[in-house]
Structure 1
Amino acid sequence: MSLVLDLCATAVLGTAISIVYWVLKQWWLDAQYGTFLPPGPRRIPLVGNAHQLGLDGQHKTLSDWSKRYGDVIFMRVFNKPALVLNSAEAARDLLDKRSAKYSDRPHFTLLVDMFGSDPNPALMPYGPWWRQHRVWLHSGLMDKDNLVGYQPILRKGTGRLLSTLIDSPDDFIAHVKRFVGGLMLEIAYGHTAASADDELIMLADTVVREAMDEGSIAGTLVDYFPSLRYIPAWFPGGGFKRRAARIHGMMREMYDRPYEQAKAAVVSPEYYLLSPCSSYFSVVAWNGKASFLTTLLESLATDGDLTPEHEEHLKGAAIVLYTGKPQQLLTCGTDTTSTVLASFFLAMTLYPEVVKKAQDEIDRVVGNARLPDFEDRSSLPYLECILSELYRWNPPLYLGVPHRLTTDDDYRRWHIPRGSMIIPNIWWMLRNPERYPAPDTFHPERFQEMDPIVADATNPRNLVFGFGRRICPGRQLADQTLWLAIANILAVFNIHKARDADGNEITPEAVFVSGGISHPRPFKCEIRPRLESAASRVQCLAGSVT
């Protein structure tokens, strides 16, 4: 008992000393630089501005602050200095033009140290290993030949999506998630999901869901006060450590399982692995096709560079494609893409005139004998405007993924201290009514009505995928995936408002649940094939879909 009391007394004393040190440090920094810092809301000791942000709707709070303090705002979130960028100009000036200083990441204690999301290029500090990941990802995801090589996979995946929408249209959100997850598995590891209940997709969904549930208040606090990770799990408030330990085990399985299967496929293309999955065993079929990971494995093995350290980093490079939860877990990958598609169904439900105009364009250019394909893209400008407006209307990452400043910097008339967390408010950049009139309205024509130079400067694609050296390397693949899916859905289906039991139309609200990623609030819509020949046309697109 006395030992427990001694430990508690030591913990209390250590906390008190830390608080005094932190208060004195902040007082000294404010005395040194306070008059030169960018404007921002008044801070209070210990908390800074955290109490003003809240847990939901932070992007809107930061947008409101811009009306008072301007497009560059300084604040503190507990003990961390942070700079909010509320304009595309400021983001480009700092994150693009000064990327050598602004390409680091804050350290994510919960995700990296406690969940085991490491190595991961999305969360990795700027340095040699991050640059190596960038080379791998650029080679696999940005190379033109590789992008063309992925197109058959995208066609087949889109065919599967259309087939499931014909069979059970009410489950469209689940179909979208499985569509994107299956594509990323195949591209990353060469694994074709055999069914909707594919174990690797389900594993990723479970890990992400658990991590998102945990990454709320406790996650926020342990990131800002890393010493909290050392409190005993039995201590009041320490339950998050037990949950984090469980997530850590699942996270390692998510890193290791698909990697080991892909590695075995390099040795033996017709490989079947009897793999452990928690409390049971299951046979996972592996098709041995070339993929992002197997190509890298073959290259490194040939050069003799496949060390254990390289293998760990290859797992991290592939995991970015396997599943994606920017800010909360990872980046790129499934969730951002599926969110854009969910927003697409919501927009088409609310704006039937957009559906009609897009279908008229597709019918005029493509006709009824086949479905849209990549070579049609340049001939479908209105469809391009729809995709641009989707990026603008609901950017999946409202606040991007924060950067970190590695050295003191000066911008305009202000001083920005080293270590500041840089937060680009992408939502406001794409919702500012001075640039986008009636920003809440889904209006693809806005990009046709703009002067070409203005349209290029305000293109949401230049903002929604991030900035500088940390820009999403999978942006072109994601854009291709979304375009093909949207074009074919519009070619095959009519999308209307659902009706209740009395036959009255149900008008969903354009409400988005803010968090790590912005999801439309669950809604219903009616999805019906336009033509009786829809099923046969879908099979032509999908080819030999099984």
Structure 2
Amino acid sequence: MATLTGVVTLAFVLFVCIIVRLTSNRRRRGRIPPGPWGWPFIGNALDVPNAYAWKAFAKWSKNWGDIMMLNLLGQRVMILNSPSLAFELLDKKSAVYSGRPAFPVITEIMGWERETALRPYGPALKELRKLITQTIGNRTALLGLSTSLEHEALDFLCRVMSDPKTLRRQVDRYTTASILRITYGYNIKEDGDELVNVVKRAVETLSLASAPGAYLADVFPILTRIPAWFPGAGWKRQAQAWRVHHTMMYELPFKYSKQQLQAGTLEPCFVSKHLEDCDDPEREALIADAASSIFAGMWATTIGAILAFFLAMTCFPEKQKKVQDEIDNIIGNDRLPCVTDLDRLPNVKALCWEVLRWHAIFPLGKSTHPINVGAPHRLTEDDVHAGYFIPKGTTVFTNIWAMLRDHRLYSKPEEFNPDRFVPSDGSEPEYDPRQICFGFGRRICPGMQFAEMSLSLVVAMTLSVFNISKPVVNGKVVEPSLQFAANLISHPLPFECDIRPRSAKAAALLSSALDGRA
């Protein structure tokens, strides 16, 4: 009996010690950041809406604060709703916050593991980002490629002038053409270009595969071990079939560049800059990885920004007049603006900044579209911040949409107002939206310079020759829809606009400029 009592006493003492140890650790580390209560096992999986989740997160932050923790099927997911928190964690503690969640279907099965945004942080990723930054993340280097960018912009404007109703298709074509030319030195043929179809199919299948809930295997990676022939494994057969699209996107344009380089006919581009005099197979593979990452990472961003610009000008035509007056006064109307003019056009810059702020193309910081450089961050170690304990393995999302509408940073953030970025009467410009929309920390977009230059050039050239307004049908003004897709890549929904040359001289100038560059 005494022995039994001793065992019970010892067990009780051990139990108390364990409780004390756990309690002291919890106090030392702090508590988990707050968030909405979830259900057993599934956590908050049913609470997060399928559409416009960023709006729900912004609303929840009023109750739970700017740092919020969710439980999605056992995975801890932290939402950051303010840029100051994003900088504190993702920038200042980047050594801990630069990991990536696993996307086993996209990487292991579909073959995207070599892309920049999906690689774990380490020496290979640093070298990839360095390659990209040296060419399209560096303004001086981009100036050497400006002739190609200007030619594609001219071609875009001429196509829009010929058939304004095809605006969306022409934006798509311009974006594809400019990125392929800057990256591979490839000039696309007319509509139906096979190489264009190859790269677009790869990016489109990636978008489908990276949608939330597309594959249960992304939540439970062990499912990737199921044989493709197994009943119910149709998802794996589909993913394996899509692998060929990435393989073709990776190999075909790079093969074209190598052939043209060997023949001495490749125009200046990303590949020509880095591949010339390269005789190291590993280095060549790294260049190919970086090149395919550029297209996949920049395509959706550029399309969304240009479409948002045309929508804003349609809805707020008075805003374009100020920019047109600036272009007329500084550039004149005898030539079109070029890349070297952009630094002299502060109102063009302000308009571009407001487009980026007004419409968040990636409302969750590019965070749920894994190929993009702002894909979710993941903690590689435990962290304690502001008294909160944040466990290793936590996935971190930045609510870019909420940040760009933060009343602490922007006055009347719901309004489209480029003047907020133009200093006047001694007032300072409001917060630079580029510090938010291109991501944070060591995963910040390495192509942000290219994205901004491409948008600024299109804005300056478009407003120098076109007036954009609401269409009039049967004597009635058609009000465009200010609606944006609920997708993770949020482009403006289809809208109508009236695009006309500002004058006969402007139309002739555009046509002659393209003829002169042919």
TM-score of the superposition, structure 2-length normalised? 0.88
Percent of aligned pairs with the same amino acid: 35
Deviates more, 1:65-74 or 1:108-117: 108-117
2:482 aligned partner? 510
Question: What are the residue-to-residue correspondences of 1:2-401 with 2, within 5 Å?
Answer: 36-216=31-211, 218-233=213-228, 237-269=232-264, 287-301=265-279, 305-307=280-282, 310-322=283-295, 324=296, 331=297, 333-400=298-365, 401=375
Whole-angstrom distance in 2 between the partners of 1:87 and 1:299: 46
1:431 corresponds to which of 405, 410, 415: 405
Report the CA distance between 1:208 and its aligned residue. 2.3
Q: Does 1:484 align with 2:457?
A: yes
1:4 aligned partner? none
Q: Label 1:45 to 1:237 Cα distance change in 2 as closer, same or farther (>3 A).
A: farther
Contact 2:351–2:418 (Cα < 8 Å) also in 1: yes
1:475 aligned partner? 448
Q: Label 1:30 to 1:121 Cα distance change in 2 as closer, same or farther (>3 A).
A: farther
What SS does the aligned partner of 2:214 have?
helix
For structure 2, the residue ranges without an aligned partner over 5 or more in a row are 1-20, 366-374
Whole-angstrom distance in 2 between the partners of 1:431 and 1:416: 26
Report the CA distance between 1:197 and its aligned residue. 2.5
Contact 1:118–1:316 (Cα < 8 Å) also in 2: no
Whole-angstrom distance in 2 between the partners of 1:204 and 1:98: 36
Report the CA distance between 1:260 and its aligned residue. 1.4
Q: Label 1:218 to 1:43 Cα distance change in 2 as closer, same or farther (>3 A).
A: closer
Report the CA distance between 1:407 and its aligned residue. 0.7
Letter in 1 for 2:119: M
Contact 1:352–1:495 (Cα < 8 Å) also in 2: yes
Whole-angstrom distance in 2 between the partners of 1:391 and 1:421: 25
Q: Label 1:431 to 1:489 Cα distance change in 2 as closer, same or farther (>3 A).
A: same
2:3 aligned partner? none
Whole-angstrom distance in 2 between the partners of 1:254 and 1:415: 42
Whole-angstrom distance in 1 between the partners of 2:40 and 2:30: 18
For structure 1, the residue ranges without an aligned partner over 5 or more in a row are 1-27, 270-286, 325-330
Contact 1:182–1:193 (Cα < 8 Å) also in 2: yes
Report the CA distance between 1:317 and its aligned residue. 0.6
Paired residues, number: 487
1:525 corresponds to which of 497, 513, 517: 497
Contact 1:498–1:506 (Cα < 8 Å) also in 2: yes
Q: Deviations over 1:424-482 (max 9, x none)?
A: 111100012332233222111222368988636x1101111111111111111111111
Q: Deviations over 1:122-171 (max 9, x none)?
A: 11110111111022112222344421101111111111011101111110
Report the CA distance between 1:85 and its aligned residue. 0.8
TM-score of the superposition, structure 1-length normalised? 0.84
Q: Deviations over 1:299-338 (max 9, x none)?
A: 432xxx223xx4443222101222x3xxxxxx2x111011
1:417 corresponds to which of 391, 398, 401: 391
Whole-angstrom distance in 2 between the partners of 1:262 and 1:31: 61
Deviates more, 1:240-249 or 1:384-393: 240-249
Q: What value does the CA root-mean-square deviation take over the aligned residues?
A: 2.3
Letter in 2 for 1:122: A
Whole-angstrom distance in 2 between the partners of 1:299 and 1:467: 34
Q: Deviations over 1:41-94 (max 9, x none)?
A: 112232121211132111111111110111111112213212111001000111
Report the CA distance between 1:415 and its aligned residue. 0.9
Contact 1:83–1:422 (Cα < 8 Å) also in 2: yes
Report the CA distance between 1:31 and its aligned residue. 12
Contact 1:185–1:321 (Cα < 8 Å) also in 2: no
What SS does the aligned partner of 1:52 have?
coil
